[in-house]
């Protein structure tokens, strides 16, 4: 397995993968940038393009490790369009079991491919930001970055 680290506006993105696909992406507060191995060049380019605003979807071979249920939830997350959000309740309904809301939320929290599998696009039913493994400030940044309406600062 190969590992690479690049600097992003929300911290250092550490990603791991091999010929079978991208296994994990997470954002760290501190790290050292590394040379990008050949197996991760495309992932690095697409992640950088996402952060500079020139990409809103990813076209990468993914190989996240998890249970069958987690993978089902992660597949549903991939269908949430850029610039939109959904709630845990709506995601549970999409998956066919409204009573599975806690299990869906838990699977969302175990997503190993932050940003690429857009778990940050899931919010509370009341529209509030709820848990994000990378912290709510990063979740807010990502949602603002993806928002079709850019609000300038007044002062």
Query: Annotated catalytic sites, by residue?
Result: 119
**Residue 73 has which token pair?**
């939830």
Q: Give Cα separations from 5 to 16, 28, 36 (angstroms).
A: 9, 9, 8
Q: Other CB atoms closer than 10 Å to residue 67's CB: what's the count?
A: 10
Crossing angle of helices 101-109 and 68-77, in 10° steps, is 80
Q: How far apart are CA 75 and CA 77, in angstroms?
A: 5
113 DSSP 8-state letter: B
User: In which element (H, E) is residue 14 found?
Assistant: strand 11-18
């Amino acid at each position: 397995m190969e590992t690479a680290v690049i600097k992003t506006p929300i911290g250092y993105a550490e990603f791991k993968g091999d010929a079978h696909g991208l296994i994990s992406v997470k954002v760290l507060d501190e790290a050292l940038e590394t040379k990008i191995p050949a197996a991760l060049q495309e992932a690095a380019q697409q992640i950088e393009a996402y952060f500079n605003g020139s990409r809103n979807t990813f076209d990468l071979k993914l190989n996240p490790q998890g249970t069958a249920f987690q993978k089902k939830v992660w597949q549903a997350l991939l269908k949430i369009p850029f610039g939109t959000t959904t709630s845990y309740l709506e995601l549970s309904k999409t998956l066919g079991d409204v009573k599975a809301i806690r299990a869906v939320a838990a699977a969302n929290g175990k997503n190993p491919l932050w940003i690429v599998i857009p778990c940050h696009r899931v919010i509370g039913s009341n529209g509030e930001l709820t848990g994000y493994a990378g912290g709510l400030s990063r979740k807010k940044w990502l949602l603002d970055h993806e928002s079709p309406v850019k609000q300038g600062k007044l002062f």
